[in-house]
Amino acid sequence: MRVAILAHEKFPDNAKTALGILRYADHDVVSVLDRTADGHRVSDFVPDVQDAPIVAGMDAIEPDDIDALVIGIAPIGGGFDESWRDDVRTALEYGCDVISGLHYFLEDDEEFAQLAAENDCDLWDVRNPPEDLTVAEGRADEVDAEVILTVGTDCSAGKMTTTMELARDARAAGHDAAVIPTGQTGIMIEGWGNPIDRVVSDFTAGAVEEMILEKGDEHDYLFVEGQGSIVHPAYSAVTLGILHGSMADNLVLCHNAGQEAIHGYESFALPSIPTYVDLYENVAAPVADSEIVAGALNTSALEDDEAARDAVDAYADTLDAPATDVIRFGTDAVLDELL
Amino acid sequence: MRVAILAHEKFPDNAKTALGILRYADHDVVSVLDRTADGHRVSDFVPDVQDAPIVAGMDAIEPDDIDALVIGIAPIGGGFDESWRDDVRTALEYGCDVISGLHYFLEDDEEFAQLAAENDCDLWDVRNPPEDLTVAEGRADEVDAEVILTVGTDCSAGKMTTTMELARDARAAGHDAAVIPTGQTGIMIEGWGNPIDRVVSDFTAGAVEEMILEKGDEHDYLFVEGQGSIVHPAYSAVTLGILHGSMADNLVLCHNAGQEAIHGYESFALPSIPTYVDLYENVAAPVADSEIVAGALNTSALEDDEAARDAVDAYADTLDAPATDVIRFGTDAVLDELL
């Protein structure tokens, strides 16, 4: 699929979805739309992802060169920025599908719905869960695949990135590995998935189990994208639903080096790493024997490679398990343990 | 409020909501509708609740005698039984509100919506969460009230009943206590509340926190109705969202005497009671210092009072905390600890 990614005024630093797609998706990215970086290229800002030209809007792209437009940014609140309307309109007039992770559903927008119908395009709001979800049956352990779930000490601790890096490198090493996406960026990268944080709370585990059962006999390894943290004051429900719903065999604990409190909830200190290990394993145990067998430390806050290496080694010591920074030091140490 | 409770063919054994309202609600129950028990009285079947005549349908009730009809049963699947349509229609023609906990929303039924509009009645679908819910801020501990949450070893372990009995008896003893309802029966009894199992999973904790913040400075004690179990293969997400969202001071662990496996998920054994204590307290700790300080054992499966007493004593020993069967032995032992 040939896609353009809308990232106006936010590329690359505040365009997590755009970067995820450039880094991990199979899509052929024909352009990034950012009116404040018109004329540059992705490689001017980010060296290690798929390169593409940056243009000011959809009208700089030829209709025959593109299949879909992806909204690659999310403003606080998840609303639709009216300054994007021309681009979405042009995409639909070109006959492109439009894929969005906004809280504002494009399919509820009268103009977009009408244009999509006229031009035979799909509007895919990835945050809108399917209608047919239901409660878990406690059956995810019946699949043939080994199920590996990323869990975290907080949100934004690298669970999506770790999941994608591990799955990609496992495939590159000749293994049959698939990703079970649970959040909007993962779903956009993989082209399918249930947005677990948007499902009815009773169906949290069931929406994960359904995906495991669908893919679990087709692959040898499933890498499940985790969400939140088991001790997050707001999002722990989602975390536990994924843990119990996936009935994971192995867990990889993701953590930001040096972080001491829940982001945005600074009065809540992170417990110690061994406490996290106990919490995740003990609360999983009555449902599945899920064990933390490796760690992923995000050392991007540390400039010095040696300091980063020391932090990873200390993290591995604390976990008593192999660890790495998947971006800085690759995935070998962790994949050796998992595969 | 003067209400009739619809419980066709299910009263009393399969009419949990009807019984909850008869036992705990402030409503004046003018009739129970059950066409298979027409001519009997509630007291013919259930001795210790509000008495009322049982009639075959709404047309046996005078329009001036009633304010609302409550759907007091829920078929498997939560659908609307068409044999109830005449009763709902008559209620609306009488000018009554209709309150329902079905998955099938009455407000989406064209005939009912039109009749409600014509007769100036409310259709209240208690499973339909309010639109304005959002994520938790981790602030429930700011309220003046002491927050007491019932938690369980499984679903249907007596959390709603324990919550209602404790709150009622606390009030009877002169304390200012309120209930925070989180499920459909609790919401119908109290006349307000968020159906936590139906909210968007990201808002699970937030929907509880919102209720605590709304009521927490008006009362000395809040009794929060818990849901599910921290180790339930399907519903643990809801349980943890309520635990973290409520930031409860004290927990009461509810358990069915003799139960050994998760109901409906028989391959999942219940862990030991001390394991439950550790799990609930340890996973709460990074968010709030919630402590299991008492137990509620449902001994209804034990015919013999002495065996029931022994079971409660053994449960208290295992918990190292006071315990009771709130229905069989009253609430004193537990309230002495809580108040």
Contact across the interface for B270 and A286, Cβ inside 8 Å: yes
Sort out which chain B residues have CB atoms less than 8 A from A271's CB and list them: 285-286
Distance between CA atoms of residues B170 and B178, nearest Å: 9
Interatomic CA distance for residues B332 and B336, integer angstroms: 6
User: How far is A263 from chain B, CA to nearest CA, in Å?
Assistant: 12
pLDDT in tens, B171-211: 999 999 999 999 999 999 999 999 999 999 999 999 999 99
pLDDT of residue B193: 96
Query: Element (H or E) spanning A153, and its range?
Result: none
CATH 3.30.590.10 fits B2-125, yes or no: no
| Phi-psi label, residue A330: left if phi above 0, alpha if psi -120 to 50, beta otherwise | left
**Across A83-93, average pLDDT:** 97
What is the per-residue pLDDT for B75? Answer: 77
Q: What is the SS3 assignment for A164?
A: helix
Sheet with B68-71, side-by-side order of all strands: B54-55, B28-33, B2-6, B68-71, B97-100, B123-125
Chain A CA closest to residue B235: A202
- Whole-angstrom Cα distance, residue A39 to residue B247? 52
Question: What pLDDT does residue B234 have?
Answer: 97
A37 vs A9, A10, A19, A48, B92, CA distance in Å?
8, 9, 15, 19, 61
Q: Is B200–A197 a contact, with Cβ atoms under 8 angstroms apart?
A: yes
- Residue B23 token pair: 């036992």
- Interface check for A277 against chain B (CB to CB < 8 A): the answer is no
Calpha distance A317→A294 (Å, rounded): 11
What's the pLDDT tens digit per position in B31-75? 999 999 999 999 999 998 999 999 999 999 999 999 999 999 987
- Residues of chain A positioned with their CB less than 8 A from the CB of B232: 244
Structural tokens at position B328? 């069989």
Lowest-pLDDT choice from A222-231, A245-254, B66-75: B66-75
Q: Mean pLDDT for chain B? A: 96
Measured between beta carbons, the chain A residues lying within 8 angstroms of B138 are: 233-234, 262, 265, 267-268
Asked whether residue B274 carries a pLDDT value surpassing 90, the answer given is: yes
Q: Which two tokens stand for residue A110?
A: 């009268």
Residues in B closer than 8 angstroms to A270, CB to CB, are 286
The pLDDT assigned to A124 comes to: 96
B chain contacts of residue A238, beta-carbon cutoff 8 Å: 201-202, 204, 237
Closest CA to A138 of A194, A209, A39: A209
Phi, psi of B153 (to 5 degrees): -85, -15
In this prediction, residue B192 carries a pLDDT of 95
Which residue's entry shows tokens 């990135």?
A: A161
- In chain A, residues 123-182 whose CB comes closer than 8 Å to chain B: 135-138
Can you read off the two tokens belonging to residue B13?
């054994």
pLDDT of residue A48: 87
Candidate from B241, B262, B271 with C-beta closest to A237:
B241
Instruction: Tell me which DSSP letter residue A38 carries.
Output: T
CA neighbours closer than 13 Å in the CB half-sphere of residue B157: 29
Residue pair A57/A33 in contact (Cβ under 8 Å)? The answer is yes
Q: Which residues of B touch A204 (CB under 8 A)?
A: 201, 237-238
Residue B78 corresponds to which tokens in the numbers above? 């939560």
Is B149 a residue whose pLDDT tops 90?
A: yes
Cα B268 to Cα A97, A292, B27, B255: the distances in Å are 45, 21, 40, 16
Q: Which of A133, A196, A202 best tests the B interface by mutation, with the highest count of B CBs <10 A? A: A202
3-state SS assignment for residue A60: helix
Would the pLDDT of B79 be above 90?
Answer: no
With residue A236 as reference, give the H or E element that holds it: helix A236-246
A74: confidence class by pLDDT, cuts 50, 70, 90: confident
Do B2-125 and B140-338 come out as alike in CATH topology?
Answer: yes
On the question of pLDDT at A76 being above 80, the answer is: no
Query: Does the pLDDT at position B16 exceed 90?
Result: no
* Residues of chain B with C-beta less than 8 angstroms from the C-beta of A262: 138
* Residue B291 burial (10 A CB sphere; 0-12, 13-18, 19+): middle
**If you count them, how many residues does chain B have?**
339
Residues of B in contact with A244 (CB under 8 A): 231-234, 236-237
Q: In angstroms, rounded to a whole number, what is the distance separating the alpha carbons of residues B106 and B97?
A: 11
Average pLDDT over residues A235-243: 98
Does B237 touch chain A if contact means CB atoms closer than 8 Å? Answer: yes
Q: How far apart are CA A32 and CA A39, in angstroms?
A: 10
Cβ distance of B233 and A138 shorter than 8 Å: yes
What pLDDT is recorded for position B13?
92
Mean pLDDT rounded to a whole number for chain A: 96
pLDDT above 80 (res A17): yes
Using CB atoms within 10 Å of the CB of residue A66, give its burial: 0 to 12 exposed, 13 to 18 middle, 19+ buried. buried
Mean pLDDT over residues B243-252, rounded? 98
Confidence of residue A298 (pLDDT cuts 50, 70, 90): very high
Q: Which of A16-20, A53-57, A106-110, A115-119 shows the lowest mean pLDDT across its residues?
A: A16-20
Above pLDDT 70, what percent of chain B?
100
Q: State which CATH number among 3.40.50.1100, 3.40.50.300, 2.70.98.40, 2.60.40.10 fits the domain covering B140-338.
A: 3.40.50.300
Q: How far is residue A96's CA from residue A2's CA, in Å, rounded to a whole number?
A: 10
What was the pLDDT predicted at B215? 98
Instruction: Say whether residue B236 is in contact with chain A using an 8 A CB cutoff.
Output: yes
- Read off the pLDDT of each residue in A163-175 and give the average, rounded to a whole number: 98
Do A150 and A224 meet the contact criterion of CB atoms below 8 Å apart?
A: yes
For residue B34, the one-letter residue type is D
Asked if the model's pLDDT at residue A35 lies above 90, the reply is yes
Rounded Cα distance, A93 and A90, in Å? 5
* Range A166-191 average pLDDT: 96
Please state the three-class secondary structure of chain B as a single string.
CEEEEECCCCCCCCCHHHHHHHHHCCCEEEEEECCCCCCCEHHHHCCCCCCCEEECCHHHCCHHHCCEEEECCCCCCCCCCHHHHHHHHHHHHCCCEEEECCCCCHHHCHHHHHHHHHCCCCEEECCCCCCCCCCCCCCHHHCCCEEEEEEECCCCCCHHHHHHHHHHHHHHCCCCEEEECCCHHHHHHHCCCCCHHHCEHHHHHHHHHHHHHHHCCCCCEEEECCCCCCCCCCCHHHHHHHHHHHCCCEEEEEEECCCCEECCEEEEECCCHHHHHHHHHHHHCCCCCCEEEEEEEECCCCCCHHHHHHHHHHHHHHHCCCEECCCCCCCHHHHHHHC
User: Is the separation of the CB atoms in A337 and A292 below 8 Å?
Assistant: no
CA distance A239 to A236: 5
Whose CA is closest to B151, among B7, B290, B324?
B290
Which residue among A244, A270, A279 sits closest to B233, beta carbon to beta carbon? A244
Q: Which two tokens stand for residue B291?
A: 């402590």
Structure tokens at A327: 């971006």
What does the pLDDT read at residue B74? Answer: 81
What pLDDT does residue B317 have?
98
**Best residue in B131, B196, B240 for a mutation probing chain A (most A CBs within 10 Å):** B240
A269 touches chain B (CB under 8 A): yes
Compute the nearest-CA separation of B198 from chain A (Å).
Answer: 5
Please determine, for residue B278, whether its predicted confidence score (pLDDT) is greater than 90.
yes
Cβ atoms of residues B147 and B153 within 8 Å: no
Q: What is the pLDDT of residues B293-313, one digit of tens each?
A: 999 999 999 999 999 999 999
% of residues, chain B, pLDDT over 90: 97
Cβ separation A238–B201 shorter than 8 A: yes
Domains in chain B: boundaries: 2-125, 140-338
Task: Tell me the pLDDT band of A75, cut-offs 50, 70 and 90.
Answer: confident
- The size of chain A, in residues, is 339
Model pLDDT, residue B77: 75
